[in-house]
Amino acid sequence: MKAKSRNYYLIPYVLWIALFVITPIVLVVYYSFFNIEGDFSLENYQKFFTPVYLKMTLSSFWYALLITFFTLLIAYPTAYLLTKTKHKQLWLLLIIVPSWINLLLKAYAFIGIFGTYGAANKFLEVMGVGGKQILFTDFSFVFVSVYIFLPFMILPIFNALDELNPSFIDASKDLGASSWRTFSRVVFPLTLDGVKSGCQIVFIPALSLFMLTRLIAGNRVITLGTAIEQHFLVTQDWGMGATIAVFLIIFMVVIMLLTGRRKRGEMR
């Protein structure tokens, strides 16, 4: 019974995978074996292990980690509080709506807000802190990235919390657990799946951010995404760009396997 239905759903999905996932992977892997002159070589892979690219990889991971951490930190309470509101589905939708406005326009707005004479600095002056450079700093980069990824994190966590059977919480409280203990031992573990899928949706794309590195960080943050962009659109060195992409895909698979394995352990 089960096996039959599996085959059924697999058809359209596998078709999609074959056409739009396998094809790009094959193309990317294929291109990664050609150097800039169009000759077959492993040059690109050697190049990836030079200090420049290793440093870049490290800094991409570092920023992606920071972004994911802060997004989670802000998204979890938001999702939690949203489930307590009256029209929760409506509020949830209103969390998503801002992401439908074009990213470039929002980035321009942030340039205005964070600029030397922008609203954020005026606010700081009023507060007595005095003007600061906000634009083109690590802070502004992480802030705007968190801003963009927030809905992607809130949504799965909200859905997980929403499903949570309130009787578990009552039971925990009846048994005398403190609020914190209830949260850390009951609520959080039960919503871990949502948290995990949120982290995946944020961390993985954060590795390859490129637009914001220029607009908000003024190219002071260089990620793997920036490098790929450069190689494809400026140098036209598709081989090197593809090689970095191959590594990104490998990182992604490793991350998925790591998070997937943990899930199995818990389910047993």
Partner 1 sequence: MKRFKWSSLYLIIIFMVLYAPIFYLIFYSFNSGGDMYHFEGFTLDWYKEIFNDTRLLIIVLNTIIVALLSSAISTVLGVAGALAIYYARRRRTKNTLLSLNNVLIVSPDVIIGASFLIFFTMIGIKLGFISVLLAHIAFSVPIVVLMVLPKLEEMSTSIIYAALDLGASRLDVLTKVVLPYITPGIFAGFFMALTYSLDDFAVTFFVTGNGFSTLSVEIYALARQGVSLSINALSALLFLFTMLLVVGYYFITKKTSKIGRMGVRK
Partner 2 sequence: MKNLIRALSLVLIVSFVLLYIVNRLNTAQGYTGEHTITVYNWGDYIDPELLEQFEDETGIKVIYETFDSNEAMLTKIEQGGTSYDIAVPSEYMIDKMKQEDLLLPIDHAQLPNLKNIDPRFLNLAFDENNEYSIPYFWGTVGILYHPDKVSDEIDFKQWDDLWHPSLKNDVLLVDGAREVIGFGLNSLEYSLNETDKGRLLEAKNKLDTLTPNIKAIVGDEIKLLMQNNEAAVAVLWSGTAQDAMWENESLEYMVPEEGSNLWFDNMVIPKTTKNREAAHQFINFMLDPKVAAQNAEYVGYSTPNKAALPHMDEETTSDERFYPDEEQTAKLEVYENLGKQMLAYYNELFLEFKMHRK
Q: Interface residues with partner 2 (CB under 8 A)?
A: 36-37, 52, 55-56, 108, 111-112, 115-117, 133, 135-136, 214-215, 217-220, 222, 227, 230-237, 240
- Nearest residue to 135 via CA among 103, 104, 99, 108: 108
Within 98-191, where are the H helices?
A: 103-114, 119-126, 138-163, 166-174, 179-182, 188-190
Among 77, 131, 189, 218, binds partner 1 (CB under 8 A): 77
178 makes contact, choosing from partner 2, partner 1, none, with CB < 5 to 8 Å by partner type, with none
Q: Which is nearer to partner 1, 137 or 259 (CB)?
A: 259
- Applying CB under 8 A, the site for partner 1 has a residue count of 95
Q: Are 203 and 65 within 8 A, CB to CB?
A: yes
Q: Which is nearer to partner 2, 133 or 178 (CB)?
A: 133
Q: Does 23 participate in binding partner 1 (rule CB under 8 A)?
A: yes
Q: Does 14 participate in binding partner 1 (rule CB under 8 A)?
A: yes
For 191, the token pair is 């919503």
Shortest distance (Å) from residue 175 CB to partner 1: 22
d(CA 219, CA 254): 28
Residues in the chain: 268
d(CA 71, CA 145): 9
Among 46, 89, 178, 219, binds partner 1 (CB under 8 A): 89
